[in-house]
Structure 1
Amino acid sequence: MFRRAFWFTAGAAAGVWATTKVNQKLKQLTPESLAAQAANKAVEAGHRLKDFALDVRAGMVQREAELGEALGLEAPAGPERELPAPPRYAALDPRTAGRAKSTKHPYPTITYNRNEDH
């Protein structure tokens, strides 16, 4: 009698366990779940890519500092270094830029001979 009760209980427990596992797998294979898993994998890949880019940037800064020391350059290496200011050009008034003046148009026309450059 106890053997039958034991095997009945063991079978019922195995059935409940198997049903639970099958239901979990079915939930994992729904389209919504697959989309969420893909999104999570994409976010993880993005984080790994960002970490890689930061490592590469740190290596670049370190190598630039090493090369600066080896070459005797005094420029500070790092992201705090500012880029040189772009050159500023004076704005020229096209009417007074020394071009040929015309009475027909308020602004002079510019003739370009492409053979002059050769």
Structure 2
Amino acid sequence: MFRRTFWFTAGVGAGVWATTKVNRKLKQLTPESLAAQAAGKAVDAGHRLKEIAVDIRAQMAQREAELGDALGLNERPGLPPASRRPAVGRGGPAPAPRPYALTDDGRRTDDGRRTTENTTEGPAAGAPYNRNEDH
């Protein structure tokens, strides 16, 4: 009698477990659930891409600053020049100085193309010169 009761209880437990497992899987495969899973994965992928883009921009800015220092483009008038190191594989002379100087706000002064005065040209009259705006 106890054997039959044991196997009957084991069979009922296995049936309940299997039914629960199948119902969970069926709920995961409904169109609403699949759409929610796809949306969640798309959001996660977007966040990862945004993090990658931020990292790339930071590395680009760092490398641009390094190149500007190496080429002497980041020097301000009136400040002592930074130590100049030749580029790897090149032992040539230091680059020639620019024919103009930049003010603290980035405007050109010596060549007459840009001055420290406010100008009426362009959409950002009086704003600092941004070399990327001309393109």
User: How far apart, in 1, do the equivalents of 2:11 and 2:106 lie?
Assistant: 74
2:121 corresponding residue in structure 1 = 89
- Paired AA for residue 2 in structure 1: F
The root-mean-square deviation of aligned C-alpha atoms, in Å, is 2.6
User: How far apart, in 2, do the equivalents of 1:11 and 1:28 lie?
Assistant: 26
Distance apart, 1:83 and its partner CA: 7.5
- Paired AA for residue 64 in structure 1: E
Q: Which residues of structure 2 form unaligned runs of 5+?
A: 77-104, 108-113, 123-135
1:57 corresponding residue in structure 2 = 57
1:71 corresponding residue in structure 2 = 71
User: How far apart, in 2, do the equivalents of 1:43 and 1:57 lie?
Assistant: 21
SS at 2:120 equivalent: coil
TM-score, normalised by the number of residues in structure 1:
0.60
User: How far apart, in 1, do the equivalents of 2:10 and 2:29 lie?
Assistant: 29
Residue-pair matches, total: 84
1:14 corresponding residue in structure 2 = 14
Greater relative contact order (CA < 8 Å, ≥ 6 in sequence): 2
**Post-superposition CA distance 1:35-67 (Å, at most 9, x none):** 111111111111111011011111101111221
Distance apart, 1:21 and its partner CA: 0.7
State the identity as a percent.
Answer: 71
TM-score, normalised by the number of residues in structure 2:
0.53
